[in-house]
Amino acid sequence: MRGAFHAQSPINRPNSLFHKILRISSYNSKIWRHFFAKPMILKIDLNFFRAPRNAPMARYDLSNAERWMLELTVPANSLRLIAIDIDGTLLGPEFKISDTDLATLRRAHADGVEVILVTGRRHTFALPIAQQLGFDLWLISSNGAITRSLGGETFHRDLLPEPTCRELVQVMQEFRGQTVLTFDRNDLLGDVAGTIVIERLEYLEGSIQRWLEKNMQYIKFVVPIENALTTDPVQAMFCGPVADMQRVLQVLATCGLPITVLRTEYPGRDLSIVDVLNAGCSKGHALERWANHRQITREQVMAIGDNYNDIEMLALAGHPFIMGNASEELRGRGWKLTRSNAESGVSAAVEYVLNGKAIEAEEPDEALRSAIGVSL
């Protein structure tokens, strides 16, 4: 902080307006991080007071003041936005948010740091998790395809063009039984059937049975699945054993379509999810778009994730953190390591950035690394 004010300022008065301004202009202040993105000068024109030029400091009385100009600067690297993945990151092995993570995120929000959830889940499927936080926030869902508020206000949609998806389904004939299409229906108003489209269950039940059970009301069976393409879908997905999805990735790599391919992998459960989105769509692209909208720089963004679909988001953030339960490959990419999702790794990362609290990361066993939810 720097000030252009009279030497007679009432700095010896703990309850003076001067000290109140000092308190609201601190590094962790809500007002600075919420409204300003880069170093700047803020002039506060207090028209009703000014220190008399020759008045002794001890006799300075605000009731006799006329005007005082104060200049304050805002740090360029002050944390303003925390982007958090849900499955394997915010949710622990029991599919719950820990009390420690909840408390830390609520304190950060109260201090003016924006929290945004960035997930592979559909918006509606992510809502119950977001609502547990207890404050208003936005969600980036479907791996960056949809950015929407808790109340249903849409900021941006990046849908997969229907012609591209139709051609994709034809190219992926071998994997029709493992193909899932999702659409952006108005789930909040009860228009749910057909939000998720598949041809049949048999090839999916062994891999994502829990997810199927939770989402049965949204599922519509369409044979052939191309008949569901009356509008642009959010994305196509392929789900199954890791070996099968490796073959899916090989085919997609040579198909020549204008698409983005993302994978989420849980080797301990022999489960892999391959998401196919519009070209240029990812968690990282969506987070960058949101940060720009908020006038937030990369240096003011923190991101926490655990899987391959988080790579673009972590690469964007000035403060990237990889969860302790992530794969060895991801943990070796040079991002700051936090604790596992079983040890409130989100809280540990946030406390490190905001308060300088050291992280005592532990090496999780393979059981913890595989005991996570399915992010669809």
pLDDT at 191: 60
Give mean pLDDT, residues 302-307: 98
- Asked whether the beta carbons of 52 and 64 are under 8 A apart, the reply is yes
Tell me the pTM: 0.78
> Who's near 323: CB < 8 A, 6+ residues apart?
88, 89, 304, 305, 306, 338, 339, 340, 341, 345
Per-residue pLDDT at 125 exceeds 70:
yes
φ and ψ at residue 121, rounded to 5 degrees: -65, 155
Amino acid letter, residue 252 = L
pLDDT at 317: 98
**Residue holding tokens 């022999």?**
270
What does the alpha-carbon distance between residue 221 and residue 51 come to, in Å, rounded to a whole number?
Answer: 76
Question: Domains in the chain, start-ordered, CATH in brackets?
Answer: 17-73 (no CATH), 81-156+302-365 (3.40.50.1000), 162-278 (3.30.1240.10)
- For residue 34 the two structure tokens come to 């919420």
> Who's near 91: CB < 8 A, 6+ residues apart?
97, 129, 341, 372, 373
Kindly report whether the peptide bond that precedes residue 224 is cis, defined as omega within 30 degrees of 0: yes
Per-residue pLDDT at 15 exceeds 80:
no
Lowest-pLDDT choice from 2-11, 124-133, 241-250, 281-290:
2-11
What does the alpha-carbon distance between residue 178 and residue 169 come to, in Å, rounded to a whole number?
Answer: 11
Tally of residues, the chain: 376
Per-residue pLDDT at 338 exceeds 70:
yes
Neighbours of 53 (CB within 10 A): 8
**Residue holding tokens 């008949």?**
227
- Give just the sign of the alpha carbon dihedral 342, 107, 154, 76: negative
In three-state form (DSSP H/G/I as H, E/B as E, the rest C), the secondary structure along the chain is CCCCCCCCCCCCCCCCHHHHHHHHCCCCCHHHHHHCCCCCEEEEEECCCCCCCCCCHHHCCHHHCCCEEEEEECCCCCCCEEEECHHHHHECCCCCECHHHHHHHHHHHHCCCEEEEECCCCHHHHHHHHHCCCCCCEEEEHHHCEEEECCCCEEEECCCCHHHHHHHHHHCHHHHHHEEEECCCCHHHCCCCCCEEECCCHHHHHHHHHHHHHCHHHEEECCCHHHHCCCCCCEEEEEECHHHHHHHHHHHHCCCCCEEEEEEEEHHHCEEEEEEEECCCCHHHHHHHHHHHCCCCHHHEEEEECCHHHHHHHHHCCEEEECCCCCHHHHCCCCEECCCHHHCHHHHHHHHHHHCCCCCCCCCCHHHHHCCCCCC
Amino acid letter, residue 38 = K
pLDDT digit string, tens, across residues 78-90: 899 999 999 999 9
- Asked whether the beta carbons of 86 and 95 are under 8 A apart, the reply is no
> Who's near 214: CB < 8 A, 6+ residues apart?
125
- Asked whether the beta carbons of 130 and 137 are under 8 A apart, the reply is yes
Give mean pLDDT, residues 85-114: 97
What does the alpha-carbon distance between residue 2 and residue 13 come to, in Å, rounded to a whole number?
Answer: 19
What does the alpha-carbon distance between residue 88 and residue 77 come to, in Å, rounded to a whole number?
Answer: 28
pLDDT digit string, tens, across residues 339-364: 999 999 999 999 999 999 999 856 55
pLDDT digit string, tens, across residues 232-280: 999 999 999 999 999 999 999 999 999 999 999 988 888 999 999 999 9
More confident residue, 154 or 191: 154
Angle at 305 between CA 287 and CA 103, to 5 degrees: 95
> Which residue, 308, 325, 220, is CA-closest to 264?
308
pLDDT at 373: 44
Per-residue pLDDT at 159 exceeds 50:
yes
Per-residue pLDDT at 197 exceeds 70:
yes
What does the alpha-carbon distance between residue 195 and residue 121 come to, in Å, rounded to a whole number?
Answer: 13
- For residue 106 the two structure tokens come to 């609520």
What does the alpha-carbon distance between residue 39 and residue 259 come to, in Å, rounded to a whole number?
Answer: 38
Cα Rg, the chain, nearest whole Å: 25
More confident residue, 229 or 62: 229
What average pLDDT does the structure give for the chain? 82
